Structure 1
Amino acid sequence: MKGNNNFFKIFILGLLSAIGPFSIDMYLPGFPDIAKELQTDVSNVSLTLSSFFIGISIGQLLYGPLLDKYGRKKPLYFGLSLYLIASLGCALSTSVTMLIVCRFFQALGGCAGMVASRAMVRDMFDVKDNAKVFSLLMLVIGVSPIIAPTLGGYVSATLGWRYVFGILFLIGSGIFLLCFFKLPESKKPVEGYSLAPKFILQKFGEVFKQPQFVIYTFTSAFTAAGLYAYIAGSPHVFMEIFGTSEKTYGLIFSVVAAALIVATQINAQILRFTSSQKIIPIAITFQCCAGILLLIGFINNWWGITSSVVFCSIFLACQGFTFPNASALALAPFEQNAGSASALIGCIQMAVGTLSSAMVSIFHNETAVPLGFVMAFCAVMAITILLTGKGIVKYRARKVQVEKNR
């Protein structure tokens, strides 16, 4: 992988990947102001977040086939254009219903960058370098939870929440221009590629026939679900149970996010000496230990703020080792269907992540136990899927070999 030649490409792909997370995190501090100006309550404003998640989930499945048929850039231009129009719609919203609808279309447009960036990594770089590239993308993505809430809070307090969406419009415009002038097309359009529902489902089915895709996609999805659970449950644990201020919680959030970012960069260096297949089980084992210890400590009231931050940081650092490697291995078998595979990865991760967030809410009580339980559960599920899946593949391989030798 030629560092200087590919750095700018990776940076642009990282920006495309970060559109979704940045669009989520940046407007969160403005919830009270949005509710006040639109004459509603915060619970209704939170529906704008739900509609965004729905848009991301649906959109990724739509863009997969489009990216495989028309090449990567045309669907990307369409998605980014939709994102820009919807961002303006959000800024000009006169009711919470209008904001909910505009946020849906904002997600529907923005997720094109998330799907296209994964597919373009598979197109542009050697398979053996994919995990390193995903680690570098995580460096850009990981900055979002550190910068976005702080920037969004400052803009909301000084200029008003509408300017948050104005800034998202400017950021999206800059990314669009970078893609247009600096990002090369990585896949030619495929003539004869049908967009009929039956054909699309058939292509998705072909992706699911690859055991490597299924194993590493669901392994990655459950480790990522632990991250979603942390995002959903940590405000209650740190601000309401431990009694930290909003500023202190923001600092805690930044520290834990930094652990994730640092881990992805360490992963990129470790890959010089070992393989993704060896890193993943070790990382998830440590994640299981951190999650289980966190749960046991919460049950017995052992952990204070510092120890909780330490275990959460270890837990999410393990995600920094798992995500890049699992994403690379899940996409590795595909060349022609990389767009569809990328779409399924994103959709599955979002679906499992949404489920884990819901579990935190369902089990909610006045303790930190629900958060510890869901995080531990996700890690245990991840290692169970990994080990069981690899065991089944080895068993089938031995069975085929025995039949050949007869």
Structure 2
Amino acid sequence: MSPVGETRATRLEGSTGWVLAILALLTAAAPLSVDIYTPSLPLIQRDLGGDEWLTQSSITACLLGVGIGQLLWGPLSDRTGRRPVIFFGVLGWTITSLLSALAVTPVMLLSLRGLAGLCGAAGIVVARSVVRDISSDRRAVASRVGILSMVNAVAPVVAPVIGAVIAIAWGWRADFVALAAFGAAVGLAFALTVPETLPADRRTGGGARTIASSLAGGLRNRELAAVAIALGAHAFGFYAYITSASFIVERQFGHPPIVFALVFGTNAAAMLSANLVFRRLVRRRHPSLPLGIGLVACAVSGAVLFATAAVRGPEGVLWAASIVFAGGTGLVLPSAHSWGQLTVVASGVASALTGSAQFLGGVLGSPLTGLLGVTAENLGLVMTIASSVAIVAWVVARRAERAAHPGP
């Protein structure tokens, strides 16, 4: 049973599809912010000047903003309600996106992208809480959060393709204008479609100290903390893959960009297919099952990628390993976020901790292969270690869940 209960879920039952669609678009906002302009980074550096690392740091700043922002917006939505937080976040994200199109220095762009990530985090973290509010049973929560998590995972894969098309037609500044238009449209749709889902009598009280206390209390929940660690560890490897794959395909193996697009296209298809499997599994089983399966698949595929690259094996095997890794990720992300919402911790806090773990893991994982050397061998090693650490955390979380809910 969700915190709000069956009455509110029943009242929104007829419009659940529309509500989920709007929440999915809100969830996509922050990942789009991070990745839509990555194909244009060389052009941005040429126009704005500055060192290459400074332009690239705008990506890291946006990721960092998304990770930290969720720690703020999630608990705040438990206190003030969902709608004010989402409205403020969407408004801030839209304005900073538009201002990014007017950037005249790399420092200005970096600062605006950090703020955009901070504001965009509101849509990701609060959307999951709205789902928990309007869902009347655990299976509905898991399935619906799974949809949002899948959007969150697929957006970084498709965003560079969309951004490249826009930039080719109208220039790199048009990417940010498109983001601003997207934010305005989604904000209006949310205002017209989604009511407040957290009634006043269900809200928490207190100020900043209470929010910090709520986060600390969530971390003291062993089950939720272990799930967050598992997700953060996996995200470390996943974002290392996202940021390294194009260099490996195009530079290490000398293929044209169309081949990279094909690789990422098959990855996206694998993630979507895995999400369908997840939604079937959680109708009868706890999300811990698909999470465990996904982590094992990712660890094995990372090891295959490492071993094949080390012996200069067939490129087809490397491609197949990337597809398995993407499919495993398609199980991991929705499972971890759904599991977080099924713990006894308040929805906003649970969403904040799992969401921030994912993006902060990405902040740490994104530059690592660049430091080690962007090769398939190094990427496979990072993927294997990250997923293996996540498996250990999964075991801890599973034991904590069984202790909290003993039974068959």
Question: TM-score when scaled to structure 1?
Answer: 0.90
Q: Partner of 1:46: helix, strand, or coil?
A: helix
How far residue 380 of structure 1 moved from its aligned partner, in angstroms, is 0.8
Partner residue of 1:195?
207
Count of residues paired in the alignment: 395
Change (3 A) 1:292 1:24: same
CA gap of 1:95–1:247, structure 2 versus 1, over 3 A, is same
Q: What is the deviation of 1:182? A: 0.2
Q: Which of 113, 121, 145 is matched with 1:103 structurally?
A: 113
Report deviation, 1:37. 1.7
Of 386, 390, 393, 2:394 maps to 386
Moved more, 229-238 or 75-84: 229-238
Which of 269, 274, 277 pairs up with 2:288? 277
RMSD over aligned Cα atoms? 2.4
Q: Is the 8 A contact 1:145 1:257 kept in 2?
A: no
AA of the residue aligned to 1:233:
S
Matched, 1:130 2:141: yes
Contact 1:291 1:375 survives alignment (8 Å): yes
CA distance in 1, matches of 2:397, 2:125: 25
**Contact 1:136–1:265 (Cα < 8 Å) also in 2:** no
Cα separation, 2, equivalents of 1:26 and 1:283: 27
Is the CA contact (8 Å cut-off) linking 1:61 and 1:347 kept in structure 2?
yes
Structure 1 residue 102: deviation in Å?
1.2
| 1:377 corresponding residue in structure 2 | 385
Task: Kindly provide the CA deviation profile for residues 76-99 of structure 1, in whole angstroms up to 9, marking residues without a partner as x.
Answer: 111111111111210111211111
Q: Which residue of 2 aligns with 1:185?
A: 196
Among 8, 28, 31, the alignment partner of 2:41 is 31
Mapped to 1, the partners of 2:397 and 2:86 lie a distance apart of 34
SS at match of 2:367: helix
CA distance in 2, matches of 1:106, 1:397: 40
Aligned to 2:94: 84
Q: 2:320 maps to which residue?
A: 310
1:48 match: 58
Equivalent position of 1:401 in the other structure: none
Q: SS at the partner of 1:35?
A: helix
Deviation at 1:183, TM superposition (A): 1.0
Distance 1:397 1:321, change over 3 A: closer
The equivalences for 1:2-401 within 5 A come to: 5-125=15-135, 126-189=137-200, 193-197=205-209, 199-304=210-315, 306-334=316-344, 337-364=346-373, 367-391=375-399
Residues 94-117 of structure 1, C-alpha deviations (whole Å, 9 max, x = no match): 211111111111111111101111
Distance change >3 Å, CA 240–CA 71, structure 1 → 2: same
Secondary structure, counterpart of 2:103 in structure 1: coil
Q: CA deviation at 1:351?
A: 1.9
Deviations 1:142-181 (A, max 9, x none): 5524542222112212211111111111100011011101
Do the aligned partners of 1:83 and 1:110 also contact (CA within 8 Å) in 2?
Answer: yes
Distance 1:148 1:300 in 2: 33
Tell me whether 107-116 or 245-254 shows the greater mean CA deviation: 245-254
For residue 373 of structure 2, give the secondary structure of its aligned residue in structure 1: coil
Alpha-carbon distance in 1 for matches of 2:157, 2:335: 23
Change (3 A) 1:4 1:370: farther
Q: Distance in 1 between matches of 2:151 and 2:332?
A: 17
Which structure 2 residue ranges, 5 or more long, are not aligned? 1-8
Q: Any idea what SS the aligned residue of 2:366 has?
A: helix
Mark the CA change 1:170 to 1:9 in structure 2 (over 3 Å): closer, same or farther.
same
Q: Structure 1 CA distance, aligned partners of 2:94 and 2:190? A: 14
CA–CA separation in structure 1 for the residues paired with 2:101 and 2:196: 32
1:305-330 CA-to-partner distances (Å, cap 9, x unmatched) read x2211111101211111221221111
Contact conserved, 2:68 with 2:356, CA < 8 A, in 1? yes
- Shift of residue 234 of structure 1? 1.2
**SS of 2:247 mapped into structure 1:** helix
CA distance in 2, matches of 1:396, 1:30: 49
SS in 2 for 1:302: coil
Percent identity at matched positions? 27
Task: Identify if the C-alpha distance between structure 1 residues 101 and 251 changes in structure 2 by more than 3 Å, giving closer, same or farther.
Answer: same
Write out per-residue CA displacement over residues 23-47 of structure 1, whole angstroms, 9 at most, x where no aligned residue. Answer: 1221112212212221334332112
What secondary structure does 1:243 align onto? Answer: coil
Larger Rg: 1
CA contact (8 A) 1:134 1:327 kept: yes
- CA shift, 1:189, in A, is 4.1
Amino acid at match of 1:242: F
Structure 1 residues 273 and 48: CA distance shift in structure 2, 3 A: same
Q: Is the 8 Å Cα contact of residues 280 and 325 (structure 1) preserved in structure 2?
A: yes
The two structures have a TM-score, normalised by structure 2, of: 0.90
Shift of residue 226, structure 1, vs aligned partner: 2.3
Deviation at 1:137? 2.1
Measure how far apart 1:273 and its partner are. 4.3
Structure 1 residues 396 and 343, CA gap change in structure 2 (3 angstroms)? closer
